[in-house]
């Protein structure tokens, strides 16, 4: 009986909580407001950085930090044109000294890239721009909120009730943790690819780098795809889809250069 009630509550909530995303126009399940998502990312980001610092894994390489900052600064300007509210975001980027092939951008613009992906793939600036453009696109497209909403739906009515009733962020903190470890689905990945290559082109970064990036990623991961890639579209399909975007992106890139 209780279970039925919870399911009914979840269904009702998801009916009222379906919103068209302002950037993509796609309907999303949204049980978390943008403010809530950003507040929980601020917590998760501070925690991630302080743990990295304690372990001596927060990169102090000034050249690399400067390079990443220069690239993301240009992307952030374009993010503001794609989604005006992001101009108010408190953007931040960290370089984490770990050998993993990873990068991310949380809701509200808290970003990180790992030295592993830069060094192992010998990334060019254009390729770093493609990675960070893709990650920023996830944030602009509200994918983090979508994941938090899914995590919340998984955790059931207990969390949901308090979310709907109040704005108890202590409840949201574990949800943010779950959301960070939940993979994006393929639809979201393709969407982030599409908008990410455009952000990078408008910021003056070569769209062809999206192809070389995923080729390198495919070679590096071989049959043992890192977790970062496991839910991402198969490299072949992804490269094909990105290739199809290149002709439309080249004029944006030429104009921005």
Nearer to Zn ion, 131 or 175 (CB): 131
Nearest to 97, CA basis, from 50, 61, 125: 61
Tell the smallest beta-carbon distance from residue 101 to Zn ion (Å).
Answer: 12
Tell the smallest beta-carbon distance from residue 215 to Zn ion (Å).
Answer: 17
Applying CB under 5 A, the span of 48-56, 183-191, 194-202, 237-245 interacting with Zn ion comes to 183-191
Nearer to Zn ion, 132 or 192 (CB): 192
How is residue 44 written in tokens?
Answer: 């998760």
Q: Give the interface size with Zn ion as a residue count (CB under 5 A).
A: 2
Nearer to Zn ion, 141 or 249 (CB): 141
Q: Footprint of Zn ion on residues 63-102 (CB under 5 A)?
A: none
Tell the smallest beta-carbon distance from residue 228 to Zn ion (Å).
Answer: 8
Tokens 């000294």 label which residue?
Answer: 97
Question: Of these residues, 34, 35, 135, 146, which one is catalytic?
Answer: 135
> Which residues lie closer than 8 Å to 157 by C-beta, 6 or more apart?
5, 6, 9, 10
**Binding map of Zn ion across residues 143-182, x = CB under 5 A, - = no contact:** ----------------------------------------
Rg (CA), the chain: 19
**Binding map of Zn ion across residues 184-213, x = CB under 5 A, - = no contact:** -----x--x---------------------
Per the annotation, the verdict on 135 as an active-site residue is yes
Tell the smallest beta-carbon distance from residue 183 to Zn ion (Å).
Answer: 9
Nearer to Zn ion, 175 or 192 (CB): 192
Compute the CA torsion angle 103, 106, 108, 111 (nearest 10 deg): -20
Nearest to 67, CA basis, from 123, 134, 140, 120: 123
Compute the CA torsion angle 231, 233, 235, 236 (nearest 10 deg): 150
Q: How far apart are CA 198 and CA 200, in angstroms?
A: 5
Distance set, CA 246 to CA 71, 117, 194 (Å): 20, 23, 10
> Which residues lie closer than 8 Å to 155 by C-beta, 6 or more apart?
175, 178
Tell the smallest beta-carbon distance from residue 134 to Zn ion (Å).
Answer: 6
Nearer to Zn ion, 17 or 101 (CB): 101
Binding-site ranges for Zn ion (CB under 5 A): 189, 192
Q: What is the set of active-site residues? A: 135
């Amino acid at each position: 009986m209780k279970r039925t009630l919870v399911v009914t509550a979840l269904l009702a909530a998801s009916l009222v909580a379906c919103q068209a995303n302002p950037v993509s126009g796609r309907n999303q399940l949204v049980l978390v407001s943008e403010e809530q998502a950003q507040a929980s990312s601020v917590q998760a980001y501070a925690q991630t950085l302080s743990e990295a610092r304690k372990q001596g894994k927060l990169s102090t390489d000034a050249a690399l930090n400067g390079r990443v900052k220069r690239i993301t600064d240009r992307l952030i300007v374009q993010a503001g044109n794609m989604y005006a509210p992001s101009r108010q975001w408190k953007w931040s980027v960290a370089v984490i000294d770990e050998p993993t092939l990873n990068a991310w951008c949380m809701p509200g613009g808290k970003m990180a890239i790992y030295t592993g992906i830069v060094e192992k793939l010998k990334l060019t600036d254009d390729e770093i721009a493609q990675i960070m453009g893709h990650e920023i696109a996830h944030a602009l497209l509200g994918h983090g909120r979508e994941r938090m909403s899914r995590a919340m739906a998984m955790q059931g009515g207990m969390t949901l009730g308090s979310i709907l009733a109040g704005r108890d962020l202590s409840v949201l903190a574990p949800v943010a943790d779950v959301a960070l470890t939940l993979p994006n689905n393929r639809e979201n990945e393709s969407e982030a690819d599409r908008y990410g290559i455009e952000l990078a082109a408008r910021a003056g970064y070569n769209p062809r780098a999206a192809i070389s990036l995923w080729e390198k990623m495919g070679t590096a991961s071989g049959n043992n795809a890192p977790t970062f890639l496991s839910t991402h579209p198969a490299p072949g399909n992804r490269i094909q889809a990105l290739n199809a975007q290149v002709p439309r992106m080249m004029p944006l890139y030429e104009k921005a250069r």
